[in-house]
Amino acid sequence: MTGAGIARPESSRPPLSRRLQVRAFRVINVPMRMVLGLPVATPLGGSLMLAFIVGRKSGKTYRQPLSYVRDGDVLLTPGGGRWKLNLKDGVPVRLRLRGKDLSVIPELVSDPGEIGKLLVVMAAANPRSASFIGIPRGPDGEFDRDRLQAAVRYGFRIVRWRPAPS
């Protein structure tokens, strides 16, 4: 049963490994916010950034540590958590990247085919990212289509961050 008292089919729940990962990140994110919030570049900044995201209901600003991969002038982030629900296409978000603040425009990518292509780009740039995403790859290097579609049904997205116009 969900918190609202409505029975939810077992197949709609994320796998146990994902639920455990969420709990672990809640603990890990506390020191990460401090380190990534520093006004200087740190070794963690090569693959992690801090996003300042305004809550859609509360209006409160949340500091969310996120992994990223650079793809030209665009940053790509796997969006498996609930934080992405606060993003609005076209509304700028402040990021702290390697000790510097920058304004970006988020785009939520939800098409499984496009997500698959972007995941290949992300895994090539940062092979560790594939293990956090948890979608197996076939011998051809492509991500398993059925598992990818299931992840998208659970809410997985890729966030494409583009520089905001000056």
Rounded to 5°, the CA angle 15-19-24 comes to 140
Mutual angle of helices 112-125 and 145-153, in 10-degree steps: 110
Pairwise CA distance, residues 116 & 123, whole Å: 11
Contacts of residues 59-63 at CB distance under 8 Å and 24 or more positions apart, as own/partner, are 62/86, 63/33, 63/37
Query: In the structure, what pLDDT confidence band is assigned to residue 11 with cuts at 50, 70 and 90?
Result: low
pLDDT tens by residue, 26-41: 778 778 888 999 888 8
pLDDT digits (tens, 9 = 90+) for 122-161: 999 988 887 778 888 888 888 999 999 999 998 999 999 9
pTM of the model: 0.81
Tell me the domains of the chain and their CATH numbers.
14-163 (2.30.110.10)
